[in-house]
Amino acid sequence: MTRVKPVAIALLVAIVAGGIGIALGTRGHKAAPAATPAQADAHAFAPTVPNAGPPPEPVPDGMVWIPGGEFSMGAADPLGQDANAVGMQATEDSRPIHRVRVGGFWMDRTEVTNRQFAAFVEATGYVTVAERTPAAEEFPGAPPENLVAGSVVFSPPDHAVPLDTHFRWWSYVPGANWRHPVGPQSNIDGREDYPVVHVAFEDAEAFAKWAGKRLPTEAEWEFAARGGLAGRLYPWGNEFVADGRFMANTHQGHFPNEDTCADAHGGVAPVAQYPPNAYGLHDVAGNVWEWTRDWYRADYYGTLASAGVATDPAGPESSYDPGEPGVAKRVHRGGSFLCTEQYCSRYMVGTRGKGEPSTGTNHLGIRLVKDAS
Ligand SMILES: [Ca+2]
Ligand SMILES: [Cu+2]
């Protein structure tokens, strides 16, 4: 049953949930066929050519060197079939496969943890977006009593539901924020090594500034996540379960009402519970989505492809999501503990997510990079 919400709250949810929409997609919106046949695209990957030379010194704590180099960016459609609207088959925005060159950089081995974020808040007194009362002018017409600080939380039904709208399993929860991941009654005691969640883009940037780091570009993120491999489905290769071992925290069982936790974790997991990729990065697939600094445009890769090899692409000038034209979005990457081939398979390494910048959720976090000095 869908709970009936006051209109203003529904509005708040509609706006705030814009971000997950994408991550999870909007069903019923049928994407246009790709201009390039899927089969041709599948052969568009060329080997990754990393930059030569040793990592610079010193090594920042908790980071690994990503050498940068030239690689093929994007995701092909290996299934070549017209299936669901948000899974692999719908990732036209990750095509065409195109050649990109990025410089070297340091990258966090893991997603930013509650411990790390707490140190930042302790030092600065920073208050996250989810902890601030929504401003009346941002939600015209909303009764003041409905303007309550909170965030968007995965709230699965206890029975199977049509996968037609993400409102069936996402709720705007007053009092949810990074300290209270699923609502005011919850806390992060004993969860110091879990990824921080419910962070908006500006929270991520504030944390990065304090830490002397920055958000990665989308191209940097993908170069790093691919770990030197070319054209693989996942950061570790082409087999989702490799030699009997789960390599990422995603969702098993019937989505969204049943998670069998075959991968050993239901919901978000502490960082680094799964093997790292070849560059030493944990959880670049699954666990929590990660902000990048780029604006999202569905057609951006086409723009880049026509320009030959793109050098350090930093995203388009502005955002455009054809599925939600009025909402400017930043790119998310990596997928989360909620990803499943039944609905959204964005743990696949070349695929893209996106989200409205003020919207955090309990499956969206941060991973940062740092330039070599
Ligand atoms: Ca899991
Ligand atoms: Cu997903």
Residue-wise pLDDT tens digits, 35-88: 344 444 445 899 999 999 999 989 999 999 999 999 999 998 755 544 455 555
Dist. CA 289 → ligand 2 center (Å)? 8
The closest ligand to the CA of 251 turns out to be 1
Least confident among 15-29, 206-220, 338-352: 15-29
How far apart CA 99 and CA 96 sit, in angstroms, is 10
Dist. CA 22 → ligand 2 center (Å)? 9
Give the residue with greater pLDDT, 249 vs 14. Answer: 249
Q: What is the dihedral of CA 183, 187, 191, 192, to 10 degrees?
A: 110
The string of pLDDT tens digits covering residues 331-361 is 999 999 999 988 888 999 999 999 999 999 9
Residue 67 burial (C-beta neighbours within 10 Å; 0-12, 13-18, 19+) = buried
Share of the chain above pLDDT 90, in %: 75
Write out the CATH class of domain 20-128+192-373: alpha beta
How far apart CA 229 and CA 217 sit, in angstroms, is 19
Dist. CA 335 → ligand 2 center (Å)? 5
Share of the chain above pLDDT 70, in %: 85
Residue 222: which of 49, 19, 29, 74 has the closest Cα?
A: 74
The closest ligand to the CA of 263 turns out to be 1
What's the pLDDT at 17?
34
How far apart CA 196 and CA 215 sit, in angstroms, is 15
Dist. CA 4 → ligand 2 center (Å)? 26
Dist. CA 24 → ligand 1 center (Å)? 16
Dist. CA 334 → ligand 2 center (Å)? 8
Dist. CA 55 → ligand 2 center (Å)? 33
What's the pLDDT at 198?
98
Dist. CA 65 → ligand 2 center (Å)? 27
**CA distance readout (Å), 91 to 42, 95, 344:** 13, 7, 10
